[in-house]
Amino acid sequence: MTLDRFAPAIFVLLWSTGWVVAKYAARHSEPFTFLGIRYGLSALAFFGLCWVLKAKWPDRATVLRAIYSGFFLHGFYLAGLWWAIANGVAAGISGIIAALQPLLTAMVAPFLIGERLQPTQKFGLLLGFFGIAVAVSPKLLDPVAASLVHAAVPLAINLIAMVSVTYGTIYQKKHLQTGDLKTIATMQYVGALIVTLPLALAFERLHFDPTAEAFGALIWSVFGLSMGGIGLLLYLIRRGQVSRAASLIYLMPPAVAVEAFIAFGEPLTVPLIAGTIVVVTGVYLTNRKSARMAEA
164 and 82 Cβ atoms separated by less than 8 Å:
no
Written as tens digits, the pLDDT of the chain (296 aa) is 566 677 777 877 888 888 889 888 988 999 999 999 999 999 999 999 999 999 999 999 999 999 999 999 899 999 999 999 888 887 777 877 776 776 676 667 666 655 566 777 678 777 877 877 777 666 555 554 444 456 678 888 988 998 898 888 778 777 887 778 889 999 999 999 999 999 999 999 999 999 999 999 999 999 998 888 777 766 665 565 554 555 556 667 777 878 888 888 877 788 878 877 887 787 677 666 544 444 44
CB-CB neighbours of 192 under 10 Å: 30
pLDDT of residue 265: 82
Residue 255 lies in a domain: yes
Please state the φ and ψ torsions of residue 29, each to the nearest 5 degrees.
-155, 155
Helix (H, G, I), strand (E, B) or coil at 269: coil
Please state the φ and ψ torsions of residue 225, each to the nearest 5 degrees.
-95, -60
**51-65 burial by CB neighbour count: b if 16+ within 10 A, else e?**
eeeebeebeeebbeb
> What is the distance between the alpha carbons of residues 64 and 288, in angstroms, rounded to a whole number?
34
Residue 77 belongs to what H/E stretch? helix 77-86
30 and 200 Cβ atoms separated by less than 8 Å:
yes
DSSP structure string for 145-204: SS-HHHHHHHHHHHHHHHHHHHHHHHHHHHH-SSS-HHHHHHHHHHHHHHHHHHHHHHH-
Residue 165 lies in a domain: yes
Q: Domain containing 50: what range? A: 9-91+148-264
Residue 131 lies in a domain: no
DSSP structure string for 218-248: HHIIIIIIIIIIHHHHHHHHHHT-HHHHHHH
pLDDT of residue 212: 92
The type of residue at 258 is V
Total structural domains within the chain:
1
pLDDT of residue 146: 46
Residue 274 lies in a domain: no
pTM: 0.79
Residue 277 lies in a domain: no
Residue 114 lies in a domain: no
Residue 141 lies in a domain: no
In a 10 Å sphere around its CB, with 0-12 CB exposed, 13-18 middle and 19+ buried, how is residue 230 labelled? Answer: buried
> What is the distance between the alpha carbons of residues 165 and 208, in angstroms, rounded to a whole number?
26
287 and 126 Cβ atoms separated by less than 8 Å:
no
Residue 29 lies in a domain: yes
> What is the distance between the alpha carbons of residues 122 and 95, in angstroms, rounded to a whole number?
22
> What is the distance between the alpha carbons of residues 132 and 93, in angstroms, rounded to a whole number?
8
